[in-house]
Chain A
């Protein structure tokens, strides 16, 4: 299933977790719980030591995952071992992609993108790779038949928007607000504005909104504003963090994650019902 078709008639629920947080084993169970909870695409973070686009919640997750020994080769193994149906998107920073060397010592984005595609990854989100620097990555993704998702920010002007949409594939990641992940937990008025602007463009790419969505109610409002999907990271990572801190059993944490996943998915569906009449 391609990423674009994972966004079907219903609005998509796109959760994020950092792979390996807080341990390789538990993390596997958590990702599988999201699958059970109704995820349509899963953004699986490959932890990088300098995550400049993340707020404190995901920074802490990255630290836990790195301490648990997560590395790019182990990430590929992790993806291979996962028992999920949901398409996986690798979310990471460019240096890890750039440094990867495969067995035949091939480097650059090509090697990692192909290795990841072989392991089952269907797309990439790379927050520190703007359209200006994306050509080698774009070429590698095209060659491997996987998607490269562009991020649209509230500051993105019309000229940039056009270029972004032209190179994005799979979906567009609409950053709902200024700042970094997990910065706020409400729905920003600027989301509707950005979505309205995107509607002016002739693109079939689904629009998934992230940054600050934590509850079913948020998801409902975002989909109500015209989003094709909701991306939720920090709210889920919070559950993982709490679990790690209180040494909760993995099963219990996984169940909590699946519950929040169901709530978010239900919220998104609710939001679609509210807009469907006027859409027709």
Chain B
């Protein structure tokens, strides 16, 4: 399947994965959305894609650059190129999808937007898109994430969005998605749910991938123009998997290109049977076949099928599920699932910051944790998607760096001791 020929939304199945496991009340809306996806997105009806491309350029700043990372290339004796989605408006790849879906909601005649957010990047992107397109917007965010991603809460508020705290469970992305689905069950007749990753019921996994596919379409062409040919390996971090699928899509048929989805290994793999908690978010590496949030996919669950709490230092990867297409691509062997733990991600964060002058999001930092340990196996030319910038994470990073004793971190103590102004 190549991106050039996609015209149908398909049946929403990726091998055994995918589907539409949602309450009946939402099914008619999914049918309507599938129809709108085929008409506007896949067939450019009413010039939808033309308008989206224009807005992504003028409002979003596309195309984003592909640039060589000189110090990392030298360090690893491998050509390392960075696809700079951190430079997209909002500071992450998320706007590709958020702007696409909010615009689509407008074309569909919807009057209100709801969204969930984990790291707050998707919420921020959706709030921006909604302000830009003049749509009222409410964002559900878990209380744990509100505490660890405060700058994004303020950004959403500044863009005019309501931020609804979700206090059930651990208060992270899983609970936020459930709560947004509940809102949507009530408001579905005039509201569109802008889901933030390639997860959820059909057509979301396909549609969100399609909106993010611009990342790999650009990167593939940029690489060919700047370097010539194709890279040997492409890396992206994976939470739900939206930047991942976007970064892989145009390379899927290029068999010579290895694709690595880098998950959050947290503080350890597996599920702790005693606490019923997974101290990680590695659903591709360690999850099992199950049904969560409308799709069959790989999930973190206990033997009974109860969803377990995930963990990661990065809010955006902290999720017990993953997109069904990505799960399928792992099963077929096309995508290699790998993971790095919190410490390696923090070290990766500092390495990119002080050697390349790019402060990555903690999510993205996982990819740089991976390349540090595995560069010898990745071939001569590697593209890494910098899915977002790290401004939102500074407080977390400074705290976690101190408590985890990360070697390559700068000393921040002196500033702590100086107190307020």
Give A residues with C-beta under 8 Å from B. 48-55, 59, 63, 66, 71-73, 93-96, 98-100, 127-133, 150-157, 160, 164, 175, 178-180, 183
Inter-chain CA distance A88–B304, complex, in Å, is: 21
Inter-chain CA distance A66–B174, complex, in Å, is: 18
Question: Which residues of chain B come closer than 8 Å to A96, judged between CB atoms?
Answer: 304-306
Rounded to whole Å, the gap between the CB of A65 and the closest CB of chain B is: 11
Known A-B contacts A66-B306, A130-B27; A178 and B291 likewise in contact (beta carbons under 8 Å) = no
B25 engages A154 (CB within 8 Å) = yes
Rounded to whole Å, the gap between the CB of A188 and the closest CB of chain B is: 12
Inter-chain CA distance A162–B183, complex, in Å, is: 27
A132 engages B20 (CB within 8 Å) = yes
Question: Which residues of chain A come closer than 8 Å to B306, judged between CB atoms?
Answer: 48-49, 66, 96
B304 engages A151 (CB within 8 Å) = no
B292 engages A50 (CB within 8 Å) = yes
Question: Which residues of chain A come closer than 8 Å to B23, judged between CB atoms?
Answer: 52-53, 127-128, 130, 151, 153
Within 8 A of A (CB), among B304-348: 304-307
A133 engages B20 (CB within 8 Å) = yes
Question: Which residues of chain A come closer than 8 Å to B25, judged between CB atoms?
Answer: 151, 153-156, 175, 178-179
Rounded to whole Å, the gap between the CB of A48 and the closest CB of chain B is: 7
Q: Considering the complex, give the chain B residue whose CB is closest to the CB of A164.
A: B24
B304 engages A156 (CB within 8 Å) = no
Tell me whether B185 is interfacial, beta carbon within 8 Å: yes
Main secondary structure on B side of the interface with A: mixed
A-B contact pairs, 6 of them (CB 8 A): A52-B181, A95-B290, A98-B291, A128-B23, A152-B24, A153-B27
A178 engages B305 (CB within 8 Å) = no
B305 engages A99 (CB within 8 Å) = yes
B24 engages A72 (CB within 8 Å) = no
B294 engages A128 (CB within 8 Å) = yes
B188 engages A178 (CB within 8 Å) = yes
Q: Apart from A63-B168, A179-B186, what 11 extra A-B contacts exist at CB < 8 Å?
A: A54-B182, A66-B306, A73-B304, A130-B27, A133-B19, A154-B25, A155-B25, A155-B28, A155-B188, A178-B189, A180-B186
B304 engages A72 (CB within 8 Å) = yes
Tell me whether B22 is interfacial, beta carbon within 8 Å: yes
B305 engages A98 (CB within 8 Å) = yes
- Of B28, B169, B188, B293, the residue contacting A160 (CB under 8 A) is B28
Rounded to whole Å, the gap between the CB of B180 and the closest CB of chain A is: 10
Closest 9 CB pairs of A and B: A99-B305, A179-B186, A153-B25, A95-B291, A49-B306, A95-B305, A96-B305, A153-B24, A155-B28
Rounded to whole Å, the gap between the CB of B133 and the closest CB of chain A is: 25
Known A-B contacts A49-B306, A52-B293, A72-B304; A178 and B187 likewise in contact (beta carbons under 8 Å) = yes
Inter-chain CA distance A52–B24, complex, in Å, is: 12
Q: Considering the complex, give the chain A residue whose CB is closest to the CB of B294.
A: A128
Q: Considering the complex, give the chain B residue whose CB is closest to the CB of A129.
A: B21
Question: Which residues of chain B come closer than 8 Å to A175, judged between CB atoms?
Answer: 24-25
Inter-chain CA distance A154–B26, complex, in Å, is: 10
Question: Which residues of chain A come closer than 8 Å to B42, judged between CB atoms?
Answer: none
Rounded to whole Å, the gap between the CB of A72 and the closest CB of chain B is: 5
- Of B20, B185, B294, B299, the residue contacting A178 (CB under 8 A) is B185
Q: Considering the complex, give the chain B residue whose CB is closest to the CB of A71.
A: B304
A156 engages B185 (CB within 8 Å) = no
Q: Considering the complex, give the chain A residue whose CB is closest to the CB of B19.
A: A133
Inter-chain CA distance A73–B303, complex, in Å, is: 11
Question: Which residues of chain A come closer than 8 Å to B292, judged between CB atoms?
Answer: 50, 95
A50 engages B20 (CB within 8 Å) = no
Tell me whether B394 is interfacial, beta carbon within 8 Å: no
B307 engages A49 (CB within 8 Å) = yes
A156 engages B28 (CB within 8 Å) = yes
Question: Which residues of chain B come closer than 8 Å to A94, judged between CB atoms?
Answer: 21, 291
A179 engages B182 (CB within 8 Å) = yes
Inter-chain CA distance A95–B299, complex, in Å, is: 10
Rounded to whole Å, the gap between the CB of A263 and the closest CB of chain B is: 28
Inter-chain CA distance A178–B301, complex, in Å, is: 30
- Of B28, B290, B299, the residue contacting A157 (CB under 8 A) is B28
Question: Which residues of chain A come closer than 8 Å to B27, judged between CB atoms?
Answer: 130, 132, 153, 155-156, 160
Question: Which residues of chain B come closer than 8 Å to A164, judged between CB atoms?
Answer: 24
Q: Considering the complex, give the chain A residue whose CB is closest to the CB of B28.
A: A155
Inter-chain CA distance A99–B21, complex, in Å, is: 15
A130 engages B181 (CB within 8 Å) = no
Q: Considering the complex, give the chain A residue whose CB is closest to the CB of B182.
A: A180
Tell me whether B164 is interfacial, beta carbon within 8 Å: no
Q: Considering the complex, give the chain B residue whose CB is closest to the CB of A72.
A: B304
Within 8 A of A (CB), among B6-45: 19-29
Q: Considering the complex, give the chain B residue whose CB is closest to the CB of A151.
A: B24
B174 engages A50 (CB within 8 Å) = yes
Question: Which residues of chain A come closer than 8 Å to B305, judged between CB atoms?
Answer: 48, 72, 95-96, 98-100
- Of A133, A153, A154, the residue contacting B21 (CB under 8 A) is A133
Within 8 A of A (CB), among B160-219: 168-169, 174, 178, 181-182, 185-189
Question: Which residues of chain A come closer than 8 Å to B307, judged between CB atoms?
Answer: 49-50, 95
Q: Considering the complex, give the chain B residue whose CB is closest to the CB of A184.
A: B186
Q: Considering the complex, give the chain A residue whose CB is closest to the CB of B186.
A: A179
